[in-house]
């Protein structure tokens, strides 16, 4: 079993059985997650949609801890897209409040466990109090090195690419012949992070939903029908095993 999982899993459990099959040498560096299904989770239980968002926080805690124990370099969570502003005002307001409250409670755990928070997306449209909390936690964790937790807020893949292009044009430093894929990537919101090796989407939907359009060019995709509030380490282990069983060719011929 991977060293980071020792003592965390119950002996003889399904989680432990799955973890025994994981190979440290084949672990992805960066896992990205489209956290989907909060509203449907709540609806099936006769609860308000907001209760689904509250329940989702439990999944975030467990998956962040699991990712760190697995030795991931980065774990990116798609929390709120540029399109999510179309949702009911009350739901959006509650979600922003929940995020702020979550950060207030969890910041010390990020610090204590050497985890870095990095916000991905345009913070300008977010409530001022949430922006202050995000800035505070980013400052307090910026030197942490165990794992980067990328929190995609008011993020859109198309907007990320457009904004990168604007930065390049505004600098007026690059000549056309000097612009290639590696240079362009340095202007994206994820600059400095490896591209995701694995993209997980919960709730069974087969869409990218405008997430990491540039970055996931060669990511392996794993879709589960499980709603995000029910997503736990056992599902993450299943995704990892599936990932490790694949042959990643990056456009090359099959071996």
- Alpha carbons 223 and 175: distance in angstroms, whole number: 41
- Per the annotation, the verdict on 84 as an active-site residue is yes
11, 20, 36, 197: which one is catalytic? 36
3-state helix/strand/coil string of 48-109: CHHHHHHHHHHHHHHHHHHHHHHCCCEEEEEEEECCHHHCCHHHHHHHHHHHHHHHHHHHHH
Question: Which residues, in sequence order, are CB contacts of 43 under 8 Å at separation 6+?
Answer: 49, 52
Is 230 part of the annotated catalytic residue set?
A: no
16-38 burial by CB neighbour count: b if 16+ within 10 A, else e?
A: bebbeebeeeebbebbbbbbbbb
**The one catalytic residue among 84, 113, 144, 210:** 84
Residues labelled as active-site residues: 36, 84
């Amino acid at each position: 079993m991977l060293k980071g999982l020792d003592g965390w899993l119950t002996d003889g459990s399904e989680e432990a059985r799955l973890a025994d099959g994981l190979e440290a040498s084949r672990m992805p560096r960066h896992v990205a997650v489209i956290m989907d299904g909060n509203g449907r989770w709540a609806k099936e239980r006769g609860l308000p949609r907001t209760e689904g968002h509250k329940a989702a926080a439990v999944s975030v805690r467990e998956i962040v801890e699991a990712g760190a124990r697995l030795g991931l370099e980065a774990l990116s969570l798609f929390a709120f897209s540029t399109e999510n502003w179309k949702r009911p005002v009350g739901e959006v307001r509650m979600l922003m409040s929940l995020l702020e409250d979550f950060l207030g409670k969890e910041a010390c755990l990020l610090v204590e466990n050497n985890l870095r928070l990095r916000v991905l997306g345009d913070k300008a449209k977010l409530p001022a109090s949430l922006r202050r909390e995000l800035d505070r936690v980013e400052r307090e964790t910026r030197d942490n090195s165990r794992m980067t937790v990328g929190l995609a807020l008011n993020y859109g893949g198309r907007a990320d690419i457009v904004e990168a292009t604007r930065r390049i044009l505004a600098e007026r430093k690059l000549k056309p012949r000097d612009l290639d894929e590696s240079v362009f990537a340095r202007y994206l919101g994820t600059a400095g992070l490896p591209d995701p090796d694995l993209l997980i989407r919960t709730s069974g939907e087969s869409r990218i939903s405008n997430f990491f359009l540039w970055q996931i060019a060669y990511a392996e995709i794993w879709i589960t029908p499980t709603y995000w509030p029910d997503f736990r380490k056992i599902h993450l282990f299943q995704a990892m095993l599936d990932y490790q069983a694949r042959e990643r060719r990056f456009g090359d011929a099959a071996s």
